[in-house]
Amino acid sequence: MKNNRLAALGCVFAGIAVAIGAFAAHGLKAHLSEYELSIIEKGVHYQFWHALALIALALWQKQTDCTYVALSGVFLSLGVVCFSGSLYGLALTDWTWLWPITPLGGLSFLVGWALAAWGLWRSA
């Protein structure tokens, strides 16, 4: 993934996290339980931090042109979609089949961070 696209995706994910967080806090508060709101909050939290990480990875990739960074970005993006996306779905629907997707997103985050660490280690 080109670094501009990686940064753009990070910006899109950050914007979506802000929108979902605001909508949950203001528009859904009366309709969801505290537990459901906490699930959405957890998804927003992880999505936002990983969006910022994607932007940072894009800046790093401009400096080093490391292929591990691009691959890391793919896994972090997949983690956002699977982890945060499944949490949003679990909080807003009765789709219990989403539960197994959440840990796959977490695993994607771990792989993404491991690839970023490996790329940084190799470029040192």
Tell me the C-alpha to C-alpha distance, in Å, between residue 97 and each of 43, 80, 102: 17, 18, 10
How far apart (Å, rounded) are the C-alpha atoms in residues 30 and 84? 22
Among the listed residues 103, 81, 90, the one whose alpha carbon sits nearest the alpha carbon of residue 37: 90
Query: With pLDDT > 90 as the criterion, what percentage of the chain qualifies?
Result: 82
Residue 29: φ, ψ to 5°: -55, -40
Q: How many domains does the chain have?
A: 1
Judged against a pLDDT cut of 80, whether residue 104 lies above it is answered with: yes
Please give the residue range of the domain that contains residue 75: 3-123
pLDDT bucket at 3, cuts 50 / 70 / 90: low
Residue 62: both structure tokens together: 């401009």
pLDDT digits (tens, 9 = 90+) for 50-101: 999 999 999 998 888 788 988 999 999 999 999 999 999 999 999 999 999 9
Residue matched to tokens 């960074």: 69
